[in-house]
Structure 1
Amino acid sequence: MKNWLLMLLFTCMCTEAAEHAVKEISPGRLLLKEGEMAVGISPAPAKIERVLIIIHGRLRNAETYRQSAERSAQLAGQSANTLVIAPQFLNETDIAQHPVADTVLRWQGNDWMAGGLSTAPFRVSSYAALDQIIERISDRRQFPDVKQIIIAGHSGGAQVVQRYALLAHDLPALTAAGVKLRYVVANPSSYAYFNEQRPVAFNHAGCPGFNRWKYGLTDLPIYASGQTAPQIEGNYVKRDVTYLLGQQDIDPRHPALDKGCEAEAQGAYRLVRGQNYFNYLLRRNPQGVNQRLVEVPGVGHNGDGMFTSPEGQKVLFGQ
């Protein structure tokens, strides 16, 4: 079952990294068609019924998020049947600072967040990489007992999860295996809208990129080729998405908050941006959506606090 996990055989000897390089390279390697994905992975339980794929944010600190996901599983009493996988979308700065094999996938800057193509060893969209991970987990020969896959992210990782859920390709292997796929979007700075409507008035002429990807559906990435806007929205509202919002994530000056005009048009801070987006979906789809909004009392912009909260545990593990 674990033959696709090629564990790292050495420890990074770097004691210092450049300011913008990741502090730690995840120790696992997952073989994809285009190269190896760096991953963190929890100890595999004897019977894996659930796989939680946790997506890091801009800091690319996959191990930090893996540990939070594992703590959440323990608190929820679900460690015995849950495998946690934390893909690490390395970039060229990381590769320059750490000894990493040429076969390991890497991206330019933050291109991975918007579904951009890797720079080496071959070209693959970060979203297509997620497709391949999901397809692997859907393989009944390797994972005979898996019933559900959850893709979750906080902050920058939540931006990835929301956009991936929006554009994700249909995966026949997933349907054939009868595996349920859920998405958890926690405290992102922004969302992708389906048209030019925004909840906050702004100067359109002064913000020409407000409807470009990843804030809107203009100039979509290659991964979305062949998909029309109505198809994208129609698919998205049917997908099982939970927006997990911290009730204290209300600082309009938070240092990691997207303060560009494109994001400001969605609201002043993350909590209201999430509320605005969910209400926007409901207005556009009065027949209903397969989605929900859950607020976490007393928690601000804190990924560990969000996922280990009682609300976070319930959303991730259905308890």
Structure 2
Amino acid sequence: MKNTVQYQFIFALSLVLCALSCSDSLENDPSVYQRITVYPESELGFNVFCNANLDNPEGLTHYKNLLFVSHGGALDGERHYKIALDGVRLANKLGNTIVVAPQFRTENISRNYRWGKYNWKDGRESYNGVPKVSSYAVFDALISQIISKYPSIENIILTGHSAGAQAVFRYAVLTDLPELISRDVNYLPMNPASLLYIGPERWNEEINSFIIPPDLSTCPDYNTWNYGLNNIELNEYRPDITAEYINETFPYRNLTYCVGTRDFNITDPSCEADYLGSTSLDKSTKAYQYMQFKVPDNNHELITVEGIAHDFTGMMRSPEIRTYINSIFE
């Protein structure tokens, strides 16, 4: 009987704690958890966390900066939004910065687009909707709408961590966002588990150089989308884009590879990812080195964050990222 009472008490306490936790969620705050439309002709929409009103612009001109942050595989947009806000606050830029974090959904919620747990990061189309929408088209729509409603914004950073970094990186490969919004865009992928090379060469440890792998018998598709540009037409965001166009544009995007010096994470076990390096640290470092090898006059940079592992909070709170934010934002 005593144990039964104890279990009932614990169960009741867990319900109270759950209720308190749920009530604290920003999803219950309509001033932060907001909804956008992607296609005017579709009844489906998309939710985001944002510190500015996206339905009724406040007519404020003090916003000069936009920080876009993509969540990772845990689909925890709210957590990434809060961490990004904290990072901007530490850089003393919160007063004139809009922070926005998209929330991709896998569950079937009324009037919302939905994706698989990971396919959104590669620009795949939603499972539902007429027309269906690429996750990267959501990026386009969200950023374009913010710029149209707050045209005083001039400085833009797109970032994400882990799977979110993969999304931001591959989006940078494919998108014409800078031309679409007539502004420079800065891409900051943090600790991605894999990236994409614009050519067939990969690092060879034996000769310490980038060469086309001599034996592809165990991994013949090492250079296909989304690890390379072979079969680039398989992407569902811009299937008409060509490898030649990407080679002309991507090296000159303002992109900064960002990785913690202790990020020894290995979350992509594929042979294609193995060709990119052994860990997240190794992959980002080699991807940066590859761009120096392939297109020496590129606009890509590398930031290594000292002492940080696969940790978005540690990255955003680091002095290295604070310096980066201050170099872009007014």
Q: Flag whether TM exceeds 0.5 (same fold).
A: yes
Tell me, what secondary structure is at the counterpart of 1:133? helix
Question: Is 1:132 aligned to 2:141, yes or no?
Answer: yes
Structure 1 residue 242, shift from structure 2 partner: 0.8
1:283 aligns with 2:293: yes
Distance 2:243 2:252 in 1: 15
CA distance in 2, matches of 1:305, 1:138: 29
The structure that has the greater radius of gyration is: 2
Deviation, structure 1 residue 24: 9.1
Distance 2:230 2:93 in 1: 41
Q: Which residue of 2 aligns with 1:270?
A: 280
Structure 2 unaligned runs (5+)? 1-17, 20-24, 206-212
Which residue number in structure 1 is paired with residue 84 of structure 2? 69
Preserved CA contact (<8 Å) 1:199 1:266: yes
Tell me, what secondary structure is at the counterpart of 1:54? strand
- Greater helix percent: which structure? 2
1:250 corresponds to 2:264:
yes
Please report how far the alpha carbon of residue 172 of structure 1 lies from its aligned counterpart in structure 2 after TM superposition.
4.5
Distance 2:230 2:103 in 1: 27
Q: What SS does the aligned partner of 2:121 have?
A: helix
1:148 aligns with 2:162: no
Alpha-carbon offset, residue 196 of structure 1: 2.1
Give the one of 169, 180, 183 matched to 2:176. 169
Distance 1:109 1:155 in 2: 14
Q: Distance in 2 between matches of 1:211 and 1:110?
A: 20
Q: C-alpha distance in 2, partners of 1:234/1:25?
A: 41
- Offset of residue 28 of structure 1: 2.1
Deviation at 1:171, TM superposition (A): 5.6
Preserved contact between residue 200 and residue 265 of structure 1 (Cα < 8 Å)? no
Q: Paired residue for 1:226? A: 240
8 Å Cα contact 1:42-1:66 kept in structure 2: no
Q: Note if 1:214 corresponds to 2:226.
A: yes
**1:7-86 aligned within 5 A:** 27-33=33-39, 34=42, 35-42=44-51, 46=60, 47-86=62-101
Letter of the 1:118 counterpart = S
User: How far is the alpha carbon of 1:184 from its aligned partner?
Assistant: 0.4
Alignment partners' CA distance in 2, 1:151 and 1:296: 18
| Alignment partners' CA distance in 2, 1:115 and 1:210 | 19
Aligned residue type for 2:36:
L
After TM superposition, the runs of 4+ consecutive aligned structure 1 residues lying more than 4 A away are: 23-26, 43-46, 170-173, 200-203
Letter in 2 for 1:294: I
Which SS does the other structure have where 1:222 is aligned?
Answer: coil
> How far apart in 2 are the matches of 1:43 and 1:226?
35
Q: Please, what TM-score do these two structures have when normalized by structure 2?
A: 0.79
For 1:275, the aligned partner's letter is: T
Does residue 196 of structure 1 match 2:203?
A: no
For residues 52 and 267 of structure 1, the distance between their equivalents in structure 2, rounded to whole angstroms, comes to: 29
Query: 1: distance between equivalents of 2:26 and 2:154?
Result: 32
| Paired AA for residue 158 in structure 1 | A
Letter of the 1:260 partner, please give it.
S
One-letter code aligned to 2:127: T
Confirm or deny: 8 A CA contact 1:149 1:180 kept in the other structure. yes
SS of residue paired to 1:180: coil
TM-score by length of 1: 0.82
How far residue 77 of structure 1 moved from its aligned partner, in angstroms, is 0.4
Whole-angstrom CA distance in 2 between matches of 1:170 and 1:247: 30
Stretches of structure 1 that go unaligned for 5 or more consecutive residues are: 1-14, 17-22
Amino acid at match of 2:74: L
Find the aligned partners of 1:107 and 1:240 in 2 and give their Cα distance.
Answer: 29
Aligned residues of 1:184 and 1:316 also touching (Cα < 8 A): no
Q: Distance in 2 between matches of 1:239 and 1:198?
A: 21
Deviations 1:88-145 (A, max 9, x none): 1212xx33xxxx32x2111133221111101123301111111111211221xx2131
1:118 pairs with 113, 118, 126, which one? 126
Aligned CA RMSD, in angstroms, stands at 2.3
Percent identity over paired residues:
29
Match of 2:314 among 293, 297, 305: 305
2-side partners of 1:213 and 1:51: how far apart?
A: 29
1:190 CA drift (Å): 0.9
- Per the alignment, in what secondary structure is the counterpart of residue 241 of structure 1? strand
Letter in 2 for 1:159: Q
1:205 partner amino acid: S
Q: Number of residues paired by the alignment?
A: 282
